Amino acid sequence: MCLAVPGKVVGIEERDGTRMASVDFGGAVRDVCLAYLPDIEVGDYAIVHVGFALQRLDEAAALATLDLFARIGALEEEFGDAWGRAAAEAGPDREEEVR
């Protein structure tokens, strides 16, 4: 599944002429391109899809959405340990093959 997920901007830097951010998605921090939101600041929340911040979001809406995603397992699916999940789904006798 590929979701547009709200995250909190925790750092901003310029890389090769592109404004980039470190964004915290409920504990998983990823690099995000800020080309579509040039005025976003550290501490702001944004909706992020495929590595691009697309829209600013207020904190209450962001936290409510993150809570809902966590309760339905969407954050684990989006940011969790894919290799560990694949190994668990393969079963104990195939776990080493997957890893």
Of the chain, the percentage scoring pLDDT greater than 90 comes to 49
32 Cβ contact list (under 8 Å, min separation 6): 7, 9, 20, 21, 22, 23, 46, 48, 51, 52, 53
Q: Indicate the pTM of the whole model.
A: 0.71
- For residues 93 and 99, give the distance between their C-alpha atoms in angstroms, rounded to a whole number: 12
Tens digit of each residue's pLDDT (9 = 90 or more) over 46-93:
999 999 999 999 999 998 988 887 787 776 666 665 545 555 666 666
For residues 4-13, give the mean pLDDT: 93
The chain-wide mean pLDDT, for the chain, equals 82
Residue-number span of the structural domain to which 46 is assigned: 5-98
- pLDDT recorded at residue 1: 46
For residues 8-24, give the mean pLDDT: 96
Question: How many domains, the chain?
Answer: 1
- pLDDT recorded at residue 88: 63
> What CATH number does residue 14 fall under?
2.30.30.140
- pLDDT recorded at residue 84: 57
